[in-house]
Amino acid sequence: MPFTAAARTVADVCAVVEQLWPIAGAESWDAPGLLSGGRGATVTSLHLAVDAVPDVADEAVAAGADVLLVHHPLLLRGVTTVAEDRYAGVVLARLIRGGCALIAAHTNADVVETGTSAVLAAHLGLVDAVPITAGATPSRGNGRAGRLPEPTTLGRLARQLAEILPATASGIRVAGDYDRVIETVALCGGAGDSLLAEAAVLAADVYITSDLRHHPASESRENAKVGAGPALIDISHWASEWLWLDVAAEELRTALPGVTVTVSDLRTDPWDFTIVQ
């Protein structure tokens, strides 16, 4: 249920975040939630991004945002310093000085019905898409698997992704025959090689994800050659999750009427250029 149009606080935003992306859905190793800022601070403007990096912090403060909501937690691993000779310290210092709280919605935002993988599946028009791994309810879980509205080829599907996703230096990498017919798709926004052995992935014609490492990708490719298994499409981690921001922004606008919600266009993919051999 949306909040009334009275003055909002960071606590109100945290409550909406919990409604949309319950913390119970986060992985045990994850660290989402309120990372900095006072719960009683007034909120009139909220800015969304995938990564909390200095450029994004500057953008949020310059826009007058009271909250920066990111997908990737800034303080995910053990932290012993927030000195400003490290980027995390720079981000926190700039946000605190600018009066901008920091909230993360990470794996808890991956598993919901309108999460990162579900949004990518919707962009591809997948029919009867279901989670690859079950979550708290049948409609929630990691990744999505479904079928395309009509068959295509692996090459055409890769080109379709190039049109859907924002451009990055790493582009789109593919393992498989360009003309292979594709009807069923499994996908996972962000890093998804942990799902390569799941039944829904093995049964699909193609698996789309990010950050595929050499050995898991090689093993999957060779198994597909001698037996059965999907072709692989490796896309930018940042790009695959950036698509979710617009959907999240609309959900926040509905839940927080009167609060201005903006989405960052800054590319925080870490790669700047590629040399193709």
What are the strands, taking DSSP E only, across the chain? 8-9, 33-36, 42-43, 45-49, 67-70, 101-104, 127-130, 133-134, 141-142, 144-153, 173-175, 181-191, 206-210, 231-235, 260-263
* pLDDT tens sequence across 61-90: 999 999 999 999 999 888 889 999 999 999
Tokens at residue 198, please? 């799941």
**pLDDT reported for residue 185:** 98
Q: Are strands 231-235 and 8-9 parallel, antiparallel or unpaired?
A: unpaired
pLDDT (mean) for 150-178: 97
Asked whether residue 1 carries a pLDDT value surpassing 90, the answer given is no
Mean pLDDT of the chain: 96
Every domain of the chain with CATH number 3.40.1390.30 lies at 8-108, 111-238
Please name every residue paired with 152 in a beta bridge, in sequence order, or none if there are none. Answer: 182
pLDDT category at 7 given cuts 50, 70, 90 is confident
| Torsion sign (Cα): 192, 130, 117, 23 | negative
pLDDT (average), residues 153-170: 97
- Where residue 103 falls among pLDDT bands split at 50, 70, 90? very high
pTM (two decimals): 0.95
How many angstroms separate the CA atoms of 115 and 129, rounded? 13
Per-residue confidence band for 6, with pLDDT thresholds at 50, 70 and 90:
low
**Residue 2 pLDDT exceeds 70:** no
The reported pLDDT for the residue numbered 16 is: 98
pLDDT of residue 56 exceeding 60: yes
Q: What is the pLDDT of residue 5?
A: 54
Question: Into which CATH architecture does domain 8-108 fall?
Answer: 3-Layer(aba) Sandwich (3.40)
Residue 121 CB neighbours (<10 A)? 24
Say if residue 21's pLDDT is above 80.
yes
The CATH H-level superfamily of 111-238 is: NIF3 (NGG1p interacting factor 3)-like (3.40.1390.30)
Mean pLDDT, residues 215-227 taken together: 92
Residue 79 is predicted with a pLDDT of 85
Which segment of 5-9, 38-42, 98-102, 236-240 scores lowest on mean pLDDT?
5-9
Amino acid 120: pLDDT: 98
- Residue 26 gets which letter from DSSP? S
- Reported as a single tens digit per residue, the pLDDT across 111-152 is 999 999 999 999 999 999 999 999 889 999 999 999 999 999
Instruction: Give the residue with greater pLDDT, 7 vs 18.
Output: 18
Average pLDDT rounded to a whole number, residues 145-165:
98
Polymer length in residues for the chain: 277
